Structure 1
Amino acid sequence: MAPDTEMRDADAIEEEKLQYNHGGVTEQELDEKYPNRPHNHSKTLPFHELLTTLFNPLLANRKKPPGAAAPRRKTGPAHMTPNEIRHSIIERFISRWRQKVGNDFYPALRLIIPEKDRDRAMYGLKEKTIAKLIVRVIGIDKKSEDALALLNWKLPGHRVSASAGDFAARCFEVLTKRPIRSKAGDLTVGQVNAMLDELSLMSKEEEQLHVFEDFYRKMNPEELMWLIRMILRQMKIGATEKTLLDVWHKDAESLFNVSSSLRRVCWELYDPELSLHGDQSQIALMSCFQPELAGFTLSSFQKLVEKMKPDPDDDVFWIEEKLDGERMQLHMAREDSGKVRFSFWSRKAKDYTYLYGSGFDDDNAALTRHLTKAFHPSIRNIILDGEMVTWDMSLDAIVAFGTLKTAAISEQKNPFSDSGRRPLFRVFDCLYVNDKPLTRYTLRDRRKALEASIQPVHRRMEIHSYTEGRTVDDIKARLSQVVAEASEGLVVKNPRSMYKHERTEDWIKVKPEYMSEYGEDLDCLIIGGYFGSGSRGGRLSSFLCGLKVDENSKKCWSFFKVGGGMAAGDYAEIYHMTDGKWKDWNAQKPPDEYIELAGKGRQFEKPDQWIKPEDSIVVAVKAASVSNTDQFRTGYTLRFPRFKSIRKDRDWDTALSVKDFFQLKNEVEQKHEDNKFELDTTRKTKRAAPKRRKKPLEIAGNEVANQYAGPDTEIFKGLTFFVLPGTNKLKKSKADLEALVKSNGGNIVQTHTVENVICIGDSRILKAASIIKGGKHNIVRAQWLLDCVEQHQIDSEAGRSKFVLPYEPCHMFHTVEDDVEMIAANVDEFGDSYTRDLTVQSLAKLCESMADIDPSASFDFYAQLESHGIDLDESPGSMFRRTVVYFDAPEDDNLDAQFAQQVVQFGNGTIANSLGDKSITHVIVGANSQASRLKEIRSEMSSRRQVPRVVDMIWVLECWKEKTMLDEEKYVP
């Protein structure tokens, strides 16, 4: 490089540094704080290269239809998978940046994923404000068509309607008509960052207008469109934050989890050859981190206990009450001058310091002004993990999470009131003390540090209590207690565990619903909608929900339809959050890139409209159970799904996936197997030995002493069997079973290596264990042979076609993994075969196995109607059909109670005459019920296997008003 060129480049770099203020921190201050940070050797790339070499190629790759890529080969980009292409695009851009600019990638990364940039202040700009600024910048009339199109960007009715619902695209359409520049601008990435820093410090519209005018002069419409996406922090570039971080450095995601800082990720991991060591991967004071999250399990309590007790010499686990609040981390630092600084962050890394306080002397603090005596004098700095809840001083109890911000604002205005509601910080972990991170210490040791470091402040900041447990009964007793107190549930923790910045099974949350089959809320994506009729006509009244195919895909498989449980307010919120994003379903050109239905060309359960998963919302749904189906792509669907809430805290890519669901399903089935095993070991039934007729028989030329006494058929003709020795429930020997097979046309061999052989066995003998280990053969119980012969006789007598029965789960001693789902699909959820006729004995056995099923989930006439697509949740005459209601209302509520009872009966519900009725699903209390009576009811209900819901009478009246059964949690007294 020539000297004058070097001089010009150096001047350009210095100019960028002067413009780029790093949030008000000077270059010298940054060098002091980050002495090893990388410095670029040249000025940053032109801003438009972000578009041409990164954003647009990623979007083009995302829009590539499934199956368009050629089969994978060893070389050549044309034969790469979309995921490989995505990584390649990002790698090329990063490589170009290193070559042309240097190792400091932070200026680019904060523009690529601006939603993760914690170093730049929020702009305080929403779509409507930006629309007004653009109208002024381009100088058009406020009432012109283009101005209205910008201001009403969600509405599709304007001429520029292709961008409805996408504000940045709508801006592009309008700006394209009036560009100052048609070619790419000459702003660099560094200059754009400097201008955005300036914009983030402005609050007045006139000041913001000046910056937008500068952007308008220096950028073309496409660049402006992407700039607006960065300001709104709505990029959607076709690559996730995880993908970008993984490509940048293998430890990038780990560092981001403990720091929430793109700056640290770029400046500490600029060399791909270097790895994180020691304290580099530890949390830091005044730096937000990803907290440890509790996992959930649907396995038995016994399995939960086993997970919590890996050490036989230390079998204690901790049981905490699950709090209904907002996860919060508190950072406190005492400066040499004596001044104390605080910072608060939520689980989503939102800064709440403005609300709860920045110091003891913060006159606008809802919390910190009350914590002057909360910390031991020796504590210089500390990080606490806990839950911020709302405490009602008059009730002396925690109240619903939704009141937290209101309570905090009220506390800011009336900080020393002893009545009303206030924020209370319940601390359950200590992660940092006096410059020492504690995440690699055990929970037990961290608890000791917590108790030694803080002094609880009554109803302001308290240490969350726990009880020790060792057995299943300890969990059950505590769960009954919190149910009686109308609490959220439990969190069971392993006191020997270290702190992890992810969801982990060291902490497991347990709610009462979790212990019922699929009672746990399922967080699923809405992917389609169906127009209603009658009072719901003209709008979407029910929704198709789906499961993500995998974490890297934007495709979803159809799973179930839901419409029940939604109030008018829920519909309004869904419409608002998805406004402008719905598209009409085109059966000739279905959106296969995003949604896959069952039936392929037949498109089972196709919606009237559909929505891209990435544009949609996550809803929490609960259901009675899961059943097989051919109507939904997953092969399963929910029975009696009911809407519970909109999950505003979840993004589309964190919704339930196909893999997550099958893992959940397997846990439920394992729990059933465990329960069945416990039941079988307690029952001992005697069976009379069957009488047999003797009939001589020879197999392979050898006379057999044991003879088969059943009919002779050709049912097994063409099939080859290998019968393993050992005992079976039929008390038939190996020779008996071989005789049965031979008499009904089957061939017998003495090895499992023969092609297409059927292995018959009921015992885990050495040979069976060898076959199972080989992983290639199923082992079928001997009962299947008898069932095949018996069904053949029934079919013959009825004149029906005769065939060998397909395997059912009850027929299998061992099933290879690939056949599990296929075999499970041959019976319904109760184990009733789709192909085998019931006998009196088998019907009795089936009914016996159904005895413990929740009556609310039992199969009935209404379920049959629903299975044929009839939505009974829209019918007031059937909305209470699965409820048994007991009314416990004082006399002064008698009139309302009479009307509510009539509503329940009209909705096909059952009224219980006594609180002792074990089938009760709901206890309705009146507005004037005493607190002591409520406590008495909850205490009595808590010991029941299926805990009834205790709800206010207003719940019945609101259900009647909305013509659907609403979620009860909003109406808990």
Structure 2
Amino acid sequence: MESVSTPGPQNFAPSPDFKWLCQELFTKIDQIRNSKEKRPTRQRYRDVINNFVRMWRTTVGSDFYPVLVLALPQRDRRTFQMKDVTLIRAVCATLHLDPKSTTQQRLLNWKSRIGSGGSNRLSSICVHEIAQRRKEPLVDRQQRVSIDTVNDWLNQLAERPTRPAGGVNNLVKSELWQDIMNKLSYLELKYFFDIILKIKVMGSQENTLLYAWHPDARDYLSVVSDLYSVTQKLFDPEKRLQNDEFTLQIDSPFSPQLAKRISSTSYEKIVNKLLVRQGQEMFFIEEKMDGERLQIHYSNYGQSIKYYSRRGTDYTYLYGSDSSQGPISPFLKLDPKVENCILDGEMISFDNETNSVLPFGIVKSVAKHATDSSSSPGFSSGLTTETESFHPLFMAFDLLFLNDKPLINYPLWQRKKYLNQVLRPNPLHNRIRILSHNEGHNVDDIKKHLAFAVKANSEGIILKNPQAKYVPASRNDSWIKIKPEYLDQFGENMDLIVMGKDSAVKDSYMCGIALQESTKTPTPTSIVDLDTQNEEYADNEMEDLPSRKIIGFVSFCSIANGISKNELQEIQNMTRGKWHNFKDDPPLASDQDLVMLQFGSKKPREWIHPKDSVVLEIKARSIDNTESQINNFATGCTLYGGYCKTIRKDKDWSSCYTMAEFQRDRFFKSGHREANTTPPAAKRSGNKRRRKILRFISDSNELQNKTEVASNLFHGMNFYVISDYYNPLTKTRISRNQINREVITQGGAVVYNLITKPDEMNKLRIISGTYNIECKTLIERGYDVLSPRWILDCVLYKKVLSLEPIYCFNVSDELMKLAKTRNDPFGDSYQTNINERTLQEIIQANLHSEYEPLDTGKLDDEMSTIPLLLFSKRKIYIQECVCVTDCLKGSLTEWKLKLYGGTIVNKITESNLLVLIPPSDNSFTAVFKESVQLIRSQIADVLTSNPDQLEAIPRVVSPEWVDASIKENVQVPEELYPII
């Protein structure tokens, strides 16, 4: 009996008018976005979209692709070679305007015209100019443009040649453009322009539209990344996909599986996660490569080869579309029986001369150089030349598809076995390699390979469960990555979303962190004490972070350093026309189409919606949560020494750094927590909690009786202490019990309830260093709360100090106003002598402060370039190579480090930075390589034998890092100045 193939989607009615689509879907979505109606915005979106889908099914048919590709142009694989400038010039040419006319110049600067009363889309501005000069086309019913016709026009635009034949002049003269301009109404033209510019016509309602068409559409799209494939397979909402149908296909890019980041230093728990919970006897250990994640789709025995990034970007033009061209494809040698396959791996840059991996940021540049240098597969003969010593290298580590059969449900060990059988890399060419792996069984194996990563100057290691399946678009416990924890680095580099910008002496971008649905929205000062043992993450430190949808963003820092002119121009191009004036058009929390944007007291001059913004990879020295920074940003803290490394084009607003990740990283990297300390459990029963309180009262009475009084400093004063105190500068914690003991020692009295007579209120001091429930309750009742630091400083100065802002944890406006009169604008006290610690805090608080520019618009540029105490937190060990003959170079480097505040130490274990002085001629001799390897081996040996000697692993840099930091007036990323 012959099998009957299932028919695909079909429409039983002619293609509807494009104007109908604009009126029934696009316009109504825009109206909801701008409406002030009280009914929930989300429900109104859902009603409009569901009603449209219902009409399409009942009046047109089951083929939804013609609509979906227009409604989601950002998902359309067609490229129309149409940017903002191209569209503006085409419109002006159509209107017969002079290229130097004021109208064209005004349109080219259209982003500056965006305000609270105008449109924020270029399409609307262009249509407005057209309407002033031309009548709207009068098209009768028979001549209306259908949805299919619009798609045909878009196909023709996508097939147009590139310049010069495809320039603006030829476009405007073409019959295609004339039809577009003469047959579309103003409304249709507006959305047509949006589509060719790939603007998100549906705004944030992409998933709503996909789900309305079919419940599995969103998940299936994440696997195939192709709207046509989605609509061909999913057209009947009653027929749901089976688990095995969410699988990979050749030439359809997918979101790869990613490694889960573990911030805990407890390797025992990682081993338990890989072995005990998974029931395995061993795990795989792989080196973490510093490159770009790529998937290779090999088909038709190598006649077609595609390269896709983790976000589905096609980079085939860089690496070769078949086995006869490009810097990679000619060297992709597979078993002759392999007709098609999908390889997962990392594309890195490799230097043959030094036999080393080059930094991540130049991967595409190296690939482009290799592509431009090669016109035939024989160009590998030029590898020995000096200019072509570096080239791209693909490190394959997984095989996901083989001869029309998906392998994602096979265990990892079997996929690796097949990979080694079908892929035949040639080590002589160094273009394709299989990433080797080792077996691990215990904590010692992890430490050993992590030490090896340090010796090899590698990114770290990845631990994998050999029995695990491959799960696209996921992070789970089967892949865990561990990076060497360098002293100066705050976890991994943070990918922050740009939320605002200011143009003053130096352009700066305000960046933020994402809030997820399960993340509590911070309030100013609510996470000032980020180094406390956060019970929310302590209970189960190894569990996944919340993966619910993003509901908002909070401001975190301002970044100006590290952004080159080219990157600045690129950011401007990517965000042109998307900025809003904060004063005239502030973000509205009530507009649910916009995710919540929350700023502190520091507001940008212009803000941008995260969905229209860019992600920057930021590195910083540390977190600054001093009192002066509490209210500046919505997180209650900011970054100290923030520096932009690069623009993350592979990420968007939905994949940037989250508050949950931030809180988790701060918890596991807090100075008070030792490596083997287990955080307190978050969940306790009521009885245990009650017993703990009773015991505390008992201990407190005992404390009052046993503590000897040493002075009468606090005589007649009562203190109610709520919490511990953590000093972010010294990274030390003073417990609540210690503070109580200090009070009693100085003659004060500790109370354990607030049943106080009114005439005794002036004798009571409420003390707290964190915003816990009890503290918030007392604040709501009108109590003033002081910082524990006031007690400590009173003891230090041996007198009762007047209240200043640094001692006011949360007080009334009147009291804070009085406290501020006792300090100068920089926080220096008029009444109390300054000490070394206070001076350091004042310097840190004001060193990176940003002030409004003077009315003249001019500041003292010379003063702004002085790097005060640039290396103040650095303990540097300087090692000169035995082959160095120019001793002056090492002495000069040491002098510079000391001049800018650095401390030179004599032991590696005391350092947090290693500077290795290379030969003066920069030649990489065998002796110098031996010196480099010796340094890394010493660090690795300490890490494995006696890790307590190192808080973390110091970086090894060249002297050029010192010069670059002084030039940039900020400590630049060390990994950009490695010793090869």
TM-score by length of structure 1 reads 0.73
| 1:622 to 2:619 alignment | yes
Report the residue type matching 2:465 in the other structure.
N
Q: Quick check: 1:145 aligned with 2:102? A: yes
- Aligned AA for 2:68? L
In 2, are the aligned partners of 1:900 and 1:953 still within 8 Å (CA)? yes
1:937 to 931, 935, 938: 935
Q: Partner of 1:586: helix, strand, or coil?
A: coil
1:925 aligns with 2:894: no
Q: What's the CA shift for 1:580?
A: 5.1
In terms of Rg, which structure is larger? 1
Distance in 1 (alpha carbons) for counterparts of 2:269 and 2:671 = 10
Alignment-derived partner of residue 524 in structure 1? 496
Does the CA contact (< 8 Å) of 2:877 and 2:907 recur in 1? yes
Give 2:436's match in structure 1, choosing from 449, 461, 465.
465
Cα distance between partner residues in 2 of 1:283 and 1:196: 28
1:260 and 2:225 matched: yes
Map 1:178-577 → 2, pairs under 5 A: 178-181=133-136, 186-203=144-161, 204-205=165-166, 208-209=171-172, 210=174, 211-235=176-200, 237-277=202-242, 279-300=244-265, 301-311=267-277, 313-334=279-300, 340-360=303-323, 362=324, 364-371=325-332, 374-401=333-360, 402=362, 403-410=365-372, 412-413=374-375, 414-419=379-384, 420-458=389-427, 459-505=430-476, 506-513=478-485, 518-532=490-504, 537=505, 539-541=506-508, 543-548=510-515, 555-566=552-563, 571=568, 573-575=570-572, 577=574
1:39 is aligned to 10
Q: Distance in 2 between matches of 1:871 and 1:892?
A: 44
User: Is the alpha carbon distance of 1:330 and 1:541 closer, same or farther for their aligned partners in structure 2, counting shifts above 3 Å?
Assistant: closer
Letter in 1 for 2:148: G
Q: Deviations over 1:86-114 (max 9, x none)?
A: 22222122112112211110011011112
Change (3 A) 1:415 1:677: closer
**CA distance in structure 2 between the aligned counterparts of 1:936 and 1:625, rounded to whole angstroms:** 33
Q: How far off is 1:838 after superposition?
A: 8.2
Q: Which runs of 5+ in 1 are unaligned?
A: 1-31, 71-77, 680-720, 741-757, 761-780, 810-814, 826-830, 844-857
The 5 Å alignment of 1:904-919 reads 904-912=897-905, 914=906, 916=908, 918-919=910-911
Structure 1 residue matching 2:931: 3-state secondary structure: helix
Identity value in percent: 27
Check conservation: 1:517, 1:625, Cα contact below 8 A. no
Considering only aligned residues, what root-mean-square deviation do their CA atoms show, in Å? Answer: 4.5
**Structure 1 pair 149/805, CA: closer, same or farther in 2 (3 Å)?**
closer
- Measure, in 1, the Cα distance between the counterparts of 2:904 and 2:777: 42
SS at match of 1:391: strand
Per-residue CA distance 1:339-376 (angstroms, 9 max, x = gap): 7432222212122333333333x3x33222233xx322
| 1:885 partnered with 2:856 | no
Q: Which amino acid aligns with 1:482?
A: A
Q: 1:568 to 1:435 in 2, by over 3 A?
A: closer
Distance 1:791 1:107, change over 3 A: farther
Deviation at 1:439, TM superposition (A): 0.6
Change (3 A) 1:960 1:517: closer
| 1:116-150 C-alpha deviation (Å, 9 max, x unpaired) | 223x3x22333333333323322222221222334
1:237 shift after superposition: 3.0
Q: Report the 3-state secondary structure (helix = DSSP H, G, I; strand = E; otherwise coil) of the residue aligned with 1:964.
A: coil
TM-score, with structure 2 as normaliser: 0.72
Segment drifting more, 109-118 vs 629-638: 629-638
Assess, with a 3 A threshold, how the Cα gap between structure 1 residues 832 and 310 changes in structure 2: closer, same or farther: farther
* C-alpha spacing 1:822/1:656, structure 2 compared with 1 (3 Å): farther
| CA distance in structure 2 between the partners assigned to 1:302 and 1:292 by the alignment | 24
* Structure-1 residue corresponding to 2:813: none
Contact 2:485 2:952 in 1 (8 A): no
Q: How does 1:438-837 map to 2 (within 5 A)?
A: 438-458=407-427, 459-505=430-476, 506-513=478-485, 518-532=490-504, 537=505, 539-541=506-508, 543-548=510-515, 555-566=552-563, 571=568, 573-575=570-572, 577-579=574-576, 581-586=578-583, 592=589, 604-623=601-620, 624-625=622-623, 627=625, 629-665=630-666, 672=673, 675-677=676-678, 724=691, 790=744, 794=748, 801-803=762-764, 833=788, 837=792
Q: Are the equivalent residues in 2 in contact too, given 1:808–1:823 (CA < 8 A)?
A: no
Query: Which residues of 2 match residues 45-56 of structure 1 at below 5 A?
Result: 45-56=16-27
In structure 2, the CA distance between the partners of 1:446 and 1:588, relative to structure 1 (3 Å rule), is: closer
Cα distance in structure 2, aligned partners of 1:786 and 1:671:
20
Secondary structure of residue in 2 paired with 1:676? coil
- The match for 1:113 is 72
Query: How far 1:640 moved relative to its partner?
Result: 4.7
Alpha-carbon distance, 1:474 to partner: 2.0
Deviation at 1:34, TM superposition (A): 8.4
CA shift at 1:412, angstroms? 2.8
Q: What code does the residue aligned with 1:197 have?
A: N
Give the letter aligned to residue 899 of structure 2. F
| Match of residue 970 from structure 2 | 964
Q: CA distance change for structure 1 residues 241 and 821 in 2, over 3 Å: closer, same or farther?
A: farther
Instruction: Pick which of 340-349 and 264-273 moved more.
Output: 340-349
Q: SS at the partner of 1:291?
A: coil
Structure 2 unmatched runs, 5+:
518-547, 681-687, 707-719, 723-734, 752-759, 781-785, 799-835, 851-863, 923-927, 944-949
User: Number of aligned pairs?
Assistant: 804
What is the letter of the counterpart of residue 556 of structure 2? F
CA, structure 1 residues 724+581, in 2 after alignment: closer, same or farther (shift >3 Å)? Answer: closer
1:947 matched to 2:925? The reply is no
Contact 1:86 1:239 in 2 (8 A): no
Distance 1:800 1:308, change over 3 A: same
Q: Retained in 2: the 8 A contact 1:558–1:595?
A: no
The equivalent of 1:176 in structure 2 is: 131
**CA shift in 2, pair 1:972/1:306, >3 Å:** same
1:518–1:622 Cα contact (<8 Å) kept = yes
Q: 1:500: how far off? A: 0.8
Query: Tell me, what secondary structure is at the counterpart of 2:937?
Result: helix
In 2, Cα distance between equivalents of 1:568 and 1:880: 26
Distance 1:269 1:788, change over 3 A: farther
CA drift of 1:428 comes to 0.5
Amino acid at match of 2:633: F
Letter in 2 for 1:92: N
Contact 2:271–2:443 (Cα < 8 Å) also in 1: yes
Change (3 A) 1:543 1:243: same
Over 3 Å counting, the alpha-carbon distance change for 1:97 and 1:803 in structure 2 is: farther
Shift of 1:590: 6.7
| 1:574–1:874 distance in 2 versus 1, CA, 3 Å | farther
Change (3 A) 1:341 1:194: same
Whether the 8 Å contact between 2:351 and 2:390 is mirrored in structure 1 is: yes
Deviation at 1:216, TM superposition (A): 0.3
Residues 619 and 973 in structure 2, CA contact (< 8 A), matched pair in contact too: no
CA change 1:350–1:641 in 2 (3 A) is closer
Q: Label 1:793 to 1:508 Cα distance change in 2 as closer, same or farther (>3 A).
A: same
- CA distance in 2 between counterparts of 1:503 and 1:823 reads 44
Name which of 54, 59, 84 aligns with 2:30.
59
Deviation at 1:432, TM superposition (A): 1.4
Counterpart of 1:322 in structure 2: which amino acid? K
**1:569 CA drift (Å):** 5.6
Structure 2: distance between partners of 1:578 and 1:349 = 21
For the residue of structure 2 that corresponds to 1:147, the secondary structure is helix
Code of the residue aligned with 1:620 in structure 2: it is: E
Give the C-alpha shift of residue 263 in structure 1. Answer: 1.1
Contact (CA 8 Å) 1:526, 1:546: kept in 2 or not? no
SS of the equivalent of 1:512 reads: coil
